[in-house]
Structure 1
């Protein structure tokens, strides 16, 4: 049980953000506070490897870590029964087994709920499309991919309206292309990329560097057609109904696209435990946060990662969310850890997340890397590059991050990667060049 004499910090969620947050918050607070993690289950999954699981380049157990012994070693309590509700006015959360947990500070790191139900026929159960958002889905997608390889036919990959993470869709489309060529059936698999983005390479960020040119070139070289500003109306068995939307919001074209296999990233919304809590969330259920990652209404509630409410970079014909990349999440974690230490010491929080973006998009035999500082335009750094080295870097990142979780370490990764990619002086020193300068 938590020591009643100490402040009690509860972290809700043990994904990429929540797990590292537990380590870093424990490092920052030491014995000055008790730390508890509430999660549905006790297993960490390395989500960026899900596309590899879906083509059998990885097995599930290779990307999992059992958290109980790791947390025990770090003196972090783990409650695997999950959360059914958050009551910030009472400083309590309702646990999945009917219990109640009190907290002094709450850090919400739940990630999103996958809103397959918002589009008829979307999703692996009970719909007709696959997903790589969870390792359970990726395993189902792997079985469906084997069936495709045995009986080739049309493929549709992409992201629907309301999605706010587009990198995995590009990754999976090009990884699928690579594996189909290895299995020597690519010539019998027409591929179409369907996305709510206004152009290829938008990524919810209005592009980074020349992501548009790099990704369009990859698509053309691999004979993948695309439909942008796409609104998926419904999915039936073997048929996807898509509207292409013009800049003025009118329907430019209707498409009935046959498919044998499809993977579409779904809309995101806040998890059920927080949706509808007045003052805590926006209408989609994402957590409201100020520049210190604190909720404006409930000042002892912090949030990080995909569950945080961030407005879109600008108007688009079809709704496009903003991704929360690893670098941004890592900086949110660090800001929260330092702010909690300040609060426990009786000070006002002063730390802010940097909100930079860095991404390694693996294509199986190459890839695209990009770095944006800050993530939202206009930027001081706007950089993108491609090459076989990206695939190798992604493999190295996987091994490093899973190892870090197994060791219970909170050492930042993304800033070091950014320094290696673009040079320490560009990241660390204030920009003295015109805003149009690009790395």
Structure 2
């Protein structure tokens, strides 16, 4: 009998627990450690910000689905992973031993790297449900006395889809409230061009997203390095291609949502051989850590080098499709190892994204995520908004039922079937 511990119960951790339970032997134990007893559907947080969803709409109690699948749920915060002792130490003093550990913590949000950034400063966030609820309160107050809005992603950020979504969803809601004419809007991003997305673009995302910004009268600043956020003002350096400062912007703001850079969580940072200097988990092609092969890493917490050099640091996103692929590879490899076989499964690292803009949206498919690609497609229309709503209901329903399915793969097949993209 082996004890498998999954650290984290976000998108990757939850489906990993379900997949691993199916893949390993019946006598093996599967345990999940998570700071909370619930799962939050983070892609819906921009809707929470504008009041289209409540907290309860996107929260799933994990106790019942975990129990249904014979998975132990330990509620507590990890203080330190101790690979040499093969245990996870919690902040309350408990120690959870393991034979195999799957790290799926997601990132720590590095708000403190920029003065005034984040919910404790002068910008809002959609990275966590608590942040989104706070942002909604701030947004309602803003709508009573509207003014300039700044949305975007700072230097080192690796998740750009939610920034575009939040920007467009706010714009859509402002039009519905008939106050859009009182709100100048600016998109501030570390991307070298609009639609880069940390992926050097996918299909025609540059033209599609630039067109959306123009149509909605939204200005933008690319190659942006945020210096500080302060009451009513954001200071931004716009860099030239050689990295020199092209222009300094002092941007007035009444409301702002800026995505931060990510780093590894405290529990895994500064462990030689396990994580890189930024705290992200080092993994091989089978999702295993080279120094500690009994440890696997999946999701946003793993280390991936950026795609090429840019004037301002831009990270690579770990999209849902990619995370799902890592989960499947990890679960299958654990099953092989426990049966005395060599691991053979590798993640495909494909990307599919549905970026909702409140009334329509942009979708893209990159296979593989890092170019050159076999499929390099993007499209737009009202169907993207409909698909995103359907995705939310589908995925939350599956988590509640304790089921894990390859949603993203099915979504790609669906797009091919409806001739949205060409099969290759």
Fold shared per TM-score above 0.5: yes
**Runs of 4 or more consecutive aligned structure 1 residues displaced over 2 Å after TM superposition:** 422-429
- Does 1:219 find its partner at 2:202? no
Aligned with residue 375 of structure 1, among 366, 369, 386: 369
Q: For residues 320-331 of structure 1, what are the structure 2 equivalents within 5 Å?
A: 320-331=314-325
Q: Tell me, what secondary structure is at the counterpart of 1:192?
A: strand
Structure 1 match to 2:27: 32
Q: Is the 8 A contact 1:163 1:320 kept in 2?
A: yes
Give CA-to-partner distance per residue, 1:190-218, whole Å, 9 cap, x none: 00000000000000000000000000000
**TM-score, with length taken from structure 2:** 0.98
Structure 2 match to 1:3: none
Structure 1 residues 237 and 10 mapped into 2: Cα distance closer, same or farther (>3 Å)? same
Structure 1 match to 2:7: 12
Q: Is the 8 A contact 2:25 2:335 kept in 1?
A: no
- What is the Cα deviation at residue 97 of structure 1? 1.1
Q: For residues 262-411 of structure 1, what are the structure 2 equivalents within 5 Å?
A: 262-411=256-405
- What is the Cα deviation at residue 424 of structure 1? 10
Structure 1 match to 2:113: 118
Give CA-to-partner distance per residue, 1:336-389, whole Å, 9 cap, x none: 000000100111111000100000000000000000000001111100000000
Aligned with residue 66 of structure 1, among 61, 79, 83: 61
Structure 1: tracts of 5 or more residues without a match: 1-5, 432-439
Structure 2 match to 1:437: none
- Does 1:235 find its partner at 2:239? no
- What is the Cα deviation at residue 81 of structure 1? 1.0
Structure 1 residues 358 and 222 mapped into 2: Cα distance closer, same or farther (>3 Å)? same
Give CA-to-partner distance per residue, 1:388-430, whole Å, 9 cap, x none: 000000000000000000000011100010011135999998x
Structure 2 match to 1:42: 37
Structure 2: tracts of 5 or more residues without a match: none
Structure 1 residues 75 and 92 mapped into 2: Cα distance closer, same or farther (>3 Å)? same
Q: Tell me, what secondary structure is at the counterpart of 1:62?
A: helix
Structure 1 residues 426 and 103 mapped into 2: Cα distance closer, same or farther (>3 Å)? farther
CA distance in 2, matches of 1:346, 1:148: 60
Aligned length: 424
Q: Tell me, what secondary structure is at the counterpart of 2:269?
A: coil
Give CA-to-partner distance per residue, 1:80-115, whole Å, 9 cap, x none: 012110011221110121111110000000000000
Q: Is the 8 A contact 1:419 1:427 kept in 2?
A: no
Q: Is the 8 A contact 1:366 1:391 kept in 2?
A: yes
CA distance in 1, matches of 2:268, 2:347: 23
Q: Tell me, what secondary structure is at the counterpart of 1:38?
A: strand
